[in-house]
Amino acid sequence: MNKEKIRHLISQMTLEEKAGLCSGADFWSTKGVERLGIPAVSVSDGPHGLRKQSGEADHLGLNESIRAVCFPAGCAVAASFDRELAKTLGETLGEECQAEDISTILGPAMNIKRSPLCGRNFEYYSEDPLLSAELGAAYVKGVQSKNVGTSPKHFMANNQEYHRMTSDSRMDERTMREIYLASFEGMVKQARPWTIMNSYNKLNGTYLCENKEILTDILRKEWGFDGYVMTDWGAMNNRVEALQAGCNLEMPSSGGATDAEIAAAVREGTLSEELLDDSCEELLNIMFRYVENRDPSARLDLEKDHETARRIAEECIVLLKNEEQLLPLSPKTKTAFIGKYAAAPRYQGGGSSHINSFRVESALEQAENFADVVYAQGYDDAADVTDEALLSEAVEAAKHAKAAVIFAGLPDDFESEGYDRKHLRMPDCQNRLIEAVAEVQPNVAVVLHNGAPVEMPWLSKVKAVLEVYLGGQAVGSAAANVLYGKVNPGGRLPETFPLRLQDTPCFLTYGGENDRSEYREGVFAGYRYYTSKEMPVLFPFGYGLSYTTFDYQNLHVEKDSIKESEGLKVTVDVTNKGDRAGKEVVQLYVSPKDSKAIRPVRELRGFEKIELQPGETKTVSFTLDSRAFSYWNTEIHDWYAESGDYEIQIGKSAHEILLREAVHVESEKAIPKTFHLNSTLGEILADPKGKMIMEQAMGGAMGAGAAEMAKSADKDDAINAEMMAAMMEAMPLRQLLSFVPGVTKESLEQLVAALNA
Ligand code: BGC
């Protein structure tokens, strides 16, 4: 519906109707205005399947929802590093929404994985904002191509479950821009989501629902968002302030209470009716976009979508270890499938994303179709207690087989929406089982079902490890297909697996105190921290093996020196050296060489997933813009590509750089400087105009005094020239008064005036 028509509708609405449009009718739908033909529309979780509730509703996944397809969760999808795949997932969900008359799916979940302890990491993509933004954008484009809206969430700085509804995430401007906003920024700019969901928490003291800087100044004005903002379920604090800040829709219903507050505020003159009208326009614009583009032919095709879920799951599996090429297994090798998750995989997390799956496939049932397998349950995941009978049965089965595959991971209560993990351990009973099986069987592979990193104390005792994450309802058949080589694994870790919890960047402050969570690690999130500190990790960001090997050659950087606006084309040749087709994730990192800012040693600035046949070579190209070299500069409150040398690095992970090329970047942005008596000589001399003025002044009285000081450095060994240079560099202008004969307060003030003229 065009703007005029929407404006006309709004002009016919009563104040109460307009206020009413700004909160839900019930758990899952908005209010319609029948007499004006304004429809009520429904929304549904999200993100990795439909949780449409027709009976009793809740936002914690407690009550039944319709039978649907559970696709791989965000943790798994991210491991694909595959934009096309994320788009396919989006398209499929969009079709399902059309079939079920859902105007907006509540996803993707895009918060940065600040700590592996966050109970909800299984829904989120990555510790890296570029990867998260790119996959989020692809998902949003996919869903919206079916004329259904998305609600990327939880905007923003919602990186812990502990006290998520009241906690205050405190972070500096640069950290906010480079890490926590950046995850949403790229997605909003590329994919233009129809809606966005603000989070429960506060950011630097202000609830996100009321945060005008975030919801209006940044989201709408800077990034061009033109949809509507809805709250997370129950995330409203002050309804009137929230409306003024740019939050359009309160979800779920407030029972009319906050609608009355809005109407009263307009009557009292504390809220402008024009602002309310604008908010209604943003809401109606999106609601009609859905209603007017309904696809009446859409039907839920569970079988077809189950196949899609399997295909996606296969692409998300990460091979972490494969000694002596234990994998792929031969179907003829008698293999013991051990562990409850072989027969009943853990494939999704708990909470609002919980899907009522119409079918779940296990690796065991899939492998039994074509391979020689026996099964032993090994453990139960209801409690972390070793069942000695199950353990010895598993050890016996392993002894009498030629190989053992142990299906392990985190039980439901180890990670969930609503609370955080306390440690990175798997259940002791599972660790013990793996150790016991590895003692009697040299050929052990472990398949991990978990939404976030775990410690692997048994790693050196097993030959292979497959990370399948929470891979959705078809994860079992996907895992079997990878174990037996029907599919060559091509996933890569979208997050670092640390050696110990104590190594994680926010170990000392995660969770916070008194409802304040201080992000003191700043921009050093995830691999930015481990690589800058050169710390060993269990498995690095970007890491993953394949059943084939890849060779990288001919890194070519188009120019060795550029102006920042010119951009830079980079190419590299990748060859499949093995004898089976495989997929590789080519990762490009940028590393500043002589930055004056405190920056991570390298940051991911591009990635491409390619498929190569045996012997095939492909040239992969990247185009870097000035943002690839930039950090957020708090003096100019903008991105700043500092002049200097940078290295373009191509790697197999954040910790394994294979090829490097240098490039010089010339900044085109000036940082305006104001000088004062406390500006140091170093700062002044670094500025071209400052240098010129200073040199002139140095020629006069100041010059004579400085020459005296320099001479004394020559005379006295204790004051060597280097020390003198450092002292001068760091000396504030005002100190010249004490040390340089002939300098007066007036002459310094004149100098400052000239510097600032
Ligand atoms: C979750 C959201 C979800 C909403 C509706 C909230 O508790 O944080 O992610 O979309 O409930 O179920």
Q: Give yes or no for residue 352 CB within 6 A of ligand 1.
A: yes
- The response to whether residue 153 sits with its C-beta less than 6 Å from ligand 1 reads yes
Question: Which residue's CA is the nearest one to ligand 1's atom 9?
Answer: 352
Active-site residue, from 45, 128, 232, 305: 232
The residue whose CA is least distant from atom 5 of ligand 1 is 59
Q: Is the pLDDT of residue 63 over 90?
A: no
Residue 659 has pLDDT above 70, yes or no: yes
Which percentage of the chain shows pLDDT scores above 90? 90
Please report where in the chains the tokens 């090429």 appear, as a residue: 325
pLDDT beyond 70 at 712: no
Pocket probe mutation, ligand 1, options 58, 59, 199, 201, max atoms within 8 Å of Cβ: 59
Ligand 1 atom 3: residue of nearest CA: 352
Q: What residues contact residue 369 under an 8 Å CB cut-off, 6+ apart?
A: none
pLDDT digits (tens, 9 = 90+) for 391-441: 999 999 999 999 999 999 999 999 999 999 999 999 999 999 999 999 999
Nearest alpha carbon, ligand 1 atom 11: 59
Say which residues have a Cβ less than 8 Å from residue 501's Cβ, sequence separation at least 6: 116, 117, 423, 424, 507
The domains of the chain, with CATH numbers, are 1-40+253-293 (no CATH), 302-495 (3.40.50.1700), 550-666 (2.60.40.10), 681-756 (no CATH)
Residue 715 binned pLDDT confidence (cut-offs 50, 70, 90): low
Indicate whether 703 pLDDT > 70.
Answer: no
Tell whether ligand 1 has an atom less than 6 A from the beta carbon of residue 142: no
The pLDDT value recorded for residue 723 is 80
pLDDT of residue 700 exceeding 90, the answer is no
Amino acid at 583: K
User: Quick one: pLDDT at residue 729?
Assistant: 87
Binned at pLDDT 50, 70 and 90, residue 338 comes out as very high
**Is residue 313 classed exposed, middle or buried when 0-12, 13-18 and 19+ CB atoms within 10 A define those classes?**
buried
CA distance 99 to 717: 84
45 CB near ligand 1 (under 6 Å):
yes
Q: Ligand 1 center to residue 352 CA distance, Å?
A: 5
Strands 561-563 and 550-557: unpaired
Q: How far is CA 165 from CA 168, 265, 467, 689, in A?
A: 9, 26, 32, 51
> How many H helices and E strands in the chain?
24, 27
pLDDT at 685: 87
Residue 527 has pLDDT above 60, yes or no: yes
Dist. CA 353 → ligand 1 center (Å) = 8
Q: What angle separates helix 388-399 from helix 428-440, to the nearest 10 degrees?
A: 30
Confirm if 700 and 754 have CB atoms less than 8 A apart.
no
161 touches ligand 1 (CB under 6 Å): no
Q: What is the mean pLDDT of the chain?
A: 95
Using the mean position of ligand 1's atoms as its centre, give its distance from the Cα of residue 673 in Å: 46
Give the per-residue pLDDT at 37.
96
Looking at residue 313, its pLDDT comes to 98
Q: Is the CB of 59 under 6 A from ligand 1?
A: yes
* 537 pLDDT tier (thresholds 50, 70, 90): very high
Where residue 708 falls among pLDDT bands split at 50, 70, 90? low
User: How does residue 500 score in pLDDT terms, banded at 50, 70 and 90?
Assistant: very high
Give the list of residues 6+ apart from residue 391 with CB closer than 8 angstroms, or none: 378, 379, 429, 432, 433, 436
- Cβ(152)–Cβ(108) below 8 Å: yes
User: What do you get for the CA distance between the two ends of the chain, in Å?
Assistant: 54
pLDDT of 259 higher than 80: yes
- Nearest-atom number in ligand 1 for the CA of 46 is 10
Residue 85 token pair? 């795949």
For ligand 1, the distance from its centroid to the CA atom of residue 29, given in whole angstroms, is 14
Please give the Cα distance from 213 to 245 (Å, whole number). Answer: 8
- 340: Cβ below 6 Å to ligand 1? no
Q: Is 477 in the pocket of ligand 1 (CB under 6 A)?
A: no
Q: Could you tell me if 257 and 30 are in contact, meaning their C-beta atoms sit under 8 angstroms apart?
A: no
Segment holding 93, helix H or strand E: helix 83-100
666 pairs with which residues across the strands?
Answer: 563
Q: Is the CB of residue 46 below 6 angstroms from any atom belonging to ligand 1?
A: yes
For ligand 1, atom 8: residue with the closest CA: 232
Asked whether residue 684 carries a pLDDT value surpassing 70, the answer given is yes
Integer Cα distance of 545 and 328 in angstroms: 12
β-sheet bridge partners, residue 168: 202, 516
Would you say the CB of residue 65 lies under 6 angstroms from ligand 1? no
CB 233 near ligand 1, within 6 Å: yes
Task: Give the position, in ligand 1's atom list, of the atom nearest the Cα of 352.
Answer: 12
Ligand 1 binding pocket mutation candidate from 56, 65, 106 (most atoms within 8 A of CB): 106
Active site residue 573: no
Structure tokens given for 160: 């812990």
Nearest CA to ligand 1 atom 6: 233
Strands lying side by side in the sheet with 644-653: 561-563, 656-666, 644-653, 582-592, 603-612
Residues 244-260: what's their mean pLDDT? 97
Q: Is the dihedral of CA 571, 577, 582, 588 positive or negative?
A: negative
CB 198 within 8 A of CB 247: yes
- Using the predicted structure, report yes or no on whether residue 702 has a pLDDT greater than 70: no
Q: What percent of the chain has pLDDT over 70?
A: 97
Is the CB of residue 161 less than 8 Å from the CB of residue 118? yes
